[in-house]
Amino acid sequence: MRLNANREKLTRWLGIIGISCVSAILTVIVMRLTDKTEATGPLYPDYVYQATISDDLFSGRIQQEFTSAAPTNFTLAASIATPGVVSILARVGGSSLWDRSKLAQSTGSGVIISPDGYIITNHHVVENSDDIRVTLNDKKEYSAKMVGSDPSTDLALIKINSRDLPFLIFGNSDSLQIGEWVLAVGNPFRLESTVTAGIVSAKGRNINILNADYPIESFIQTDAVVNPGNSGGALVNSLGELIGINTAIITQSGKYEGYSFAVPSNLAQKVIYDLMEFGKVQRGLLGVSIANVTDELAKDLGLKHVSGVHVLRVSPGGSASESGLIRNDVIQTVNGVNVKTVPELQEIVGRYRPGDKLSIDFFRNGSLLNTSITLKNPNITNLAEIGFELRDLTKEEKREIGKNGVLVVSIYKGSKIEKTNMDPGFVITKVNDAAVETVEQVMEAIRKSDKRIVLEGTYKKFPGPYYYAFAVE
């Protein structure tokens, strides 16, 4: 009896131990199989998360790194961007109750770029307007004044009288990648503070929409939904940085049909700063006619790759001509930046002012050469024999300085003017005691002088007066 009882106890204990062992083994196996770290690594600048899979089932410890796209959560970018985007109502033909029969108006969007009320928008939104009304995201309304406008990029700058406004920070549009998520923020169909999302589908896109002298079309193309009323609004990246100004759509119906286009922020910044300082854009030109390089042309010119911009013609006396560029040269880089298409070259050059020097690599007869080009403005008069370039003052500059005069844009090294120690930015108000208001008057006064010329004038930040003299040979 006792022996049977002991056997029963032993059998029962062995069963319990066996079940426990099996359970433990299964638990270990399940834990091993599911032992994978969660993909929650740090956010890197290229918006990629780092993660690691570990596996101890094999001999040793194996680590495999992989990347996964950042989560498509745009709440942060939207919260940053929407307070800085405004609604614009621009009236043309009169703004009083007595002339409503003549009244026309356009609506659009704008982006606050400074806490003291500077707002960037599209030229076509405020063109020829007599009255500009701005409504902020918090419903406050302001009357805005025009600072300046540039049809060649379809950009304009307006200003409201306010302080401590929310504003957007410019991002670097050059770093924008094809396939990167972006947000369009604006007021389509007067639906205030509308946010749509899409990806960058192309860069440097020319759609031949701008009807202006020396147009620059190097648009960011996206599939973010943009409609009438979005013009002048913000295109932002996932960090809420301003990387473009929404400008156009391709459509047969007048509404969004798949693609929208924005002016890159790097170009917009240059245009806006020019408008702030001069009231108009200081456009520097290469003085060339150009075209994209084709596969056939690349073979004819001995290029290894289909890249660069083909020089079709060089304007006599222009910047390119003076630097030594000739017909059939192929421009490869500008200040170290590769250029593959005409829009890319136009955008890069468009970021510089007259008088700025560019380093250009170009292909000629099987060799890669380099030259330095000093940009010129078609509105600037070049007095090379004396050594400076001049232009008329804008109305805004005349009000700011309080005087009429002619602006010295650039000074040539080794010239008579440089030896006088004059600096660019000097405003000539008199030549040999005779008041001048235009470049033509300065040129005429210099031609009439046969011995010594004295230039009297001022600087914007240093009222003066200052005097510079040189001899006429």
Quote the CATH superfamily of domain 288-374.
Answer: PDZ domain (2.30.42.10)
What residues are annotated to the active site? Answer: 124, 154, 231
Q: What is the mean pLDDT of residues 250-271?
A: 90
Q: Is the pLDDT at 472 greater than 80, yes or no?
A: no
pLDDT digits (tens, 9 = 90+) for 292-309: 999 999 999 989 889 899
Q: What is the mean pLDDT of residues 205-212?
A: 87
Q: What is the pLDDT of residue 16?
A: 60
**Confidence label for 72 from pLDDT (cuts 50, 70 and 90):** confident
Q: Is the pLDDT at 1 greater than 80, yes or no?
A: no
Q: What is the mean pLDDT of residues 276-291?
A: 86
pLDDT digits (tens, 9 = 90+) for 85-109: 999 999 986 544 444 444 578 899 9
Average pLDDT over the chain, rounded to whole? 83
Which residues, other chains included, contact 129 with Cβ-Cβ below 8 Å and sequence gap of 6+? 90, 91, 92, 106, 146
Greatest mean pLDDT range, 220-224, 350-354, 424-428:
220-224
Which residues, other chains included, contact 381 with Cβ-Cβ below 8 Å and sequence gap of 6+? 389, 390, 391, 439, 443
Q: Compute the distance between CA of residue 210 and CA of residue 248 in angstroms, rounded to an integer.
A: 10
Tell me the sheet residues that pair with 183: 197, 236
Q: Compute the distance between CA of residue 345 and CA of residue 365 in angstroms, rounded to an integer.
A: 21
DSSP code, position 137? T
**Confidence label for 21 from pLDDT (cuts 50, 70 and 90):** low
**Confidence label for 317 from pLDDT (cuts 50, 70 and 90):** confident
Q: Compute the distance between CA of residue 208 and CA of residue 401 in angstroms, rounded to an integer.
A: 39
Is residue 249 within 8 Å of residue 234, measured between CB atoms? no
Q: What is the pLDDT of residue 60?
A: 37
pLDDT digits (tens, 9 = 90+) for 110-158: 999 999 999 999 999 999 898 999 999 999 999 999 999 999 999 999 9
Q: What is the mean pLDDT of residues 429-458?
A: 89
Would you list the domain boundaries of the chain? Answer: 1-34, 38-68, 72-277, 288-374, 382-471
Given the candidates 1.20.1560.10, 3.40.50.720, 3.40.50.1100, 2.40.10.120, the CATH classification of the domain at 72-277 is 2.40.10.120
**Confidence label for 251 from pLDDT (cuts 50, 70 and 90):** confident
Q: Compute the distance between CA of residue 110 and CA of residue 18 in angstroms, rounded to an integer.
A: 75
Farthest-apart Cα atoms in the chain, separation: 143
Q: Compute the distance between CA of residue 142 and CA of residue 119 in angstroms, rounded to an integer.
A: 12
pLDDT, greater one: 51 or 414? 414
Share of the chain above pLDDT 90, in %: 53
Q: What is the mean pLDDT of residues 51-70?
A: 38
Q: What is the mean pLDDT of residues 3-27?
A: 58
pLDDT, greater one: 389 or 3? 389
Q: What is the pLDDT of residue 53?
A: 35
Exposed, middle or buried, 69 (CB in 10 Å: 0-12/13-18/19+)? exposed
**Confidence label for 10 from pLDDT (cuts 50, 70 and 90):** low
pLDDT digits (tens, 9 = 90+) for 388-415: 888 888 777 888 888 899 988 878 777 8
pTM of the model as a whole? 0.67
Q: Which of 14-28, 246-260, 271-285 has the lowest mean pLDDT?
A: 14-28
Q: What is the pLDDT of residue 14?
A: 58
Residue with tokens 């003076």: 322
Q: Which of 155-159, 187-191, 221-225 has the lowest mean pLDDT?
A: 187-191
Q: What is the pLDDT of residue 20?
A: 62
Same fold, 288-374 and 382-471: yes
Q: What is the pLDDT of residue 410?
A: 78
pLDDT digits (tens, 9 = 90+) for 190-204: 888 899 999 999 999
Quote the CATH superfamily of domain 382-471.
Answer: PDZ domain (2.30.42.10)
φ/ψ of 134, rounded to 5, equals -120, 130
Q: What is the mean pLDDT of residues 344-356?
A: 91
Q: Compute the distance between CA of residue 133 and CA of residue 145 in angstroms, rounded to an integer.
A: 9
**Confidence label for 50 from pLDDT (cuts 50, 70 and 90):** very low
